[in-house]
């Protein structure tokens, strides 16, 4: 068991060292990329999409002017098929040109018109290429960011947290045991906990006495699904137990408060909650209700 824990601790240290180097290299890469911000090829996909759509009405205005020029010079261009073309026709021709469909039902006749139509086609092809490249790059960065978060969660514990379970042994109810277990999909590292007795244990003789420290343990690496060995303790002949457990792990600090009360019929009712304070700013601190009995008899609710 000791050898296994030593191997786990060594693997964790090696993993954290590798992760630190990996993240450092990624920070350098991000800084290098930041220097390229502002260039045409380093924009987000929506930038190219907006420009692609904006070019359609811009070129439509030129084509509308071109069609009006044909009507004024009908003898020189013999553009009988272009007479009566409207702004809608100009927008239609602009869409057909920028998408490189080119049906051929409308054709520019002047040298300027031909150059503008060719330019719009080239702009459309370039913007589509840049748009797809930026979209692929964006998806790649999102996948890498998700992978980095997953790696960090595995290296630090993510949003996993520990809880302690108290259970009663024997008919008299004075023998109790406690066990620590991990909740979540990520392992907890450098896990330590301290138990403080408020009332109920033999180390604390009356309810008005100050909180006393009664137990401390270092569990080291705590993988999901693992449970600490059962530890027995004896309580006073009382109908009330109150315990506070303070946990410290690589991903945060946790404070669990457990209360037990016994009714006149002899049944025990419990209230158990945990305040989680994660070090990661992306994970919001919250109170986790582990167990709270709502069917308590009158007179012993808390």
Domain end residue (candidates: 154, 170, 190)? 154
Instruction: Give the position of tokens 């945990």.
Output: 274
What single-letter DSSP state applies at residue 38?
Answer: T
Report which of 209, 176, 177, 178 is spatially closest to residue 193, judged by C-alpha positions: 178
One domain, residues 149 and 113: yes
Supply the pLDDT for residue 208: 44
What is d(CA 206, CA 229) in angstroms, rounded to the nearest whole number? 29
Supply the pLDDT for residue 247: 93
What is d(CA 240, CA 208) in angstroms, rounded to the nearest whole number? 13
Q: What are phi and psi of 123, to 5 degrees?
A: -65, -40
Supply the pLDDT for residue 81: 59
What is d(CA 21, CA 201) in angstroms, rounded to the nearest whole number? 48
One domain, residues 89 and 116: yes
One domain, residues 207 and 273: yes
For the residues of 24-74, what is the DSSP string, one character each? HHHHHHHHHHHHTTTSGGGS-HHHHHHHHHHHHHHHHHHHHHHHHHHHHTH
Domain end residue (candidates: 126, 154, 182)? 154
Supply the pLDDT for residue 295: 59
Radius of gyration of the chain (CA): 36
What is d(CA 293, CA 302) in angstroms, rounded to the nearest whole number? 10
What is d(CA 220, CA 217) in angstroms, rounded to the nearest whole number? 9
4 CB contacts (<8 Å, ≥6 apart)? none
List per-residue pLDDT tens for the chain, 302 residues long: 444 444 444 444 444 454 444 444 445 445 545 445 556 667 888 888 899 999 999 999 988 888 777 666 655 555 555 666 788 888 999 999 999 888 888 888 778 888 999 999 999 999 999 999 888 888 888 888 888 888 888 888 888 999 988 777 765 556 777 888 888 888 999 899 888 876 655 544 444 444 565 678 888 888 887 777 777 776 666 777 788 899 999 999 999 998 888 777 777 788 888 999 998 888 889 888 887 776 554 444 43
One domain, residues 50 and 30: no
pTM beyond 0.85: the answer is: no
Supply the pLDDT for residue 79: 56
Give the dihedral sign, CA 287/288/294/296: negative
One domain, residues 224 and 112: no
What single-letter DSSP state applies at residue 91?
Answer: H
Q: Is 94 exposed, middle or buried (0-12, 13-18, 19+ CB in 10 A)?
A: buried
Residue 75 falls within a domain, yes or no? yes
Q: Is 251 exposed, middle or buried (0-12, 13-18, 19+ CB in 10 A)?
A: buried
> How many folded domains does the chain comprise?
3
Residue 6 falls within a domain, yes or no? yes
To 5 degrees, how large is the angle CA 160–CA 162–CA 168?
Answer: 145
One domain, residues 9 and 69: no
Report which of 257, 235, 252 is spatially closest to residue 189, judged by C-alpha positions: 252
Report which of 193, 180, 145, 161 is spatially closest to residue 283, judged by C-alpha positions: 161
Residue 77 falls within a domain, yes or no? yes
Distances in Å between the alpha carbon of 43 and those of 130, 133, 242?
A: 9, 10, 59
One domain, residues 17 and 113: no
The boundaries of the domain holding residue 20 are 2-35
């Amino acid at each position: 068991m000791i050898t296994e824990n030593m191997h786990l601790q060594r693997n964790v240290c090696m993993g954290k060292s590798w992760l630190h180097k990996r993240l450092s290299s990624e920070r350098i890469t991000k800084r290098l990329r930041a220097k390229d911000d502002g260039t045409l090829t380093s924009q987000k996909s929506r930038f190219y999409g907006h420009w692609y759509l904006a070019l359609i009405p811009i070129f439509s205005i030129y084509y509308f002017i071109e069609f009006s020029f044909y009507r004024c010079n009908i003898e020189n261009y013999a553009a009988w098929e272009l007479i009566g073309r409207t702004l809608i026709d100009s927008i239609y021709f602009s869409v057909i040109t920028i998408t490189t469909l080119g049906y051929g039902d409308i054709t520019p006749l002047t040298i300027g018109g031909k150059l503008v139509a060719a330019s719009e086609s080239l702009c459309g092809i370039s913007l589509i290429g840049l748009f797809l490249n930026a979209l692929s790059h964006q998806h790649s960065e999102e996948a890498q960011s998700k992978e980095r978060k997953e790696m960090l969660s595995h290296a630090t514990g993510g949003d996993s947290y520990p809880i302690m379970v108290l259970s009663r042994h024997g008919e008299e109810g004075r023998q109790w045991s406690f066990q620590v277990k991990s909740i979540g999909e990520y392992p907890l590292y450098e896990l330590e906990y301290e138990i403080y007795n408020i009332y109920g244990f033999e180390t604390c003789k009356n309810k008005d006495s100050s909180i006393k420290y009664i137990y401390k343990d270092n569990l080291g690496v705590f993988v999901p699904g693992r449970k600490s060995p059962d530890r027995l303790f004896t309580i006073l002949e009382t109908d009330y137990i109150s315990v506070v457990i303070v946990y410290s792990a690589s991903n945060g600090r946790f404070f669990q408060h457990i209360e037990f009360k016994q009714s006149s019929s002899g049944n025990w009712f419990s209230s158990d909650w945990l305040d989680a304070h994660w070090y990661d700013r992306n994970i919001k601190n919250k109170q986790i209700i582990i167990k709270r009995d709502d069917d308590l008899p009158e007179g012993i609710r808390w």
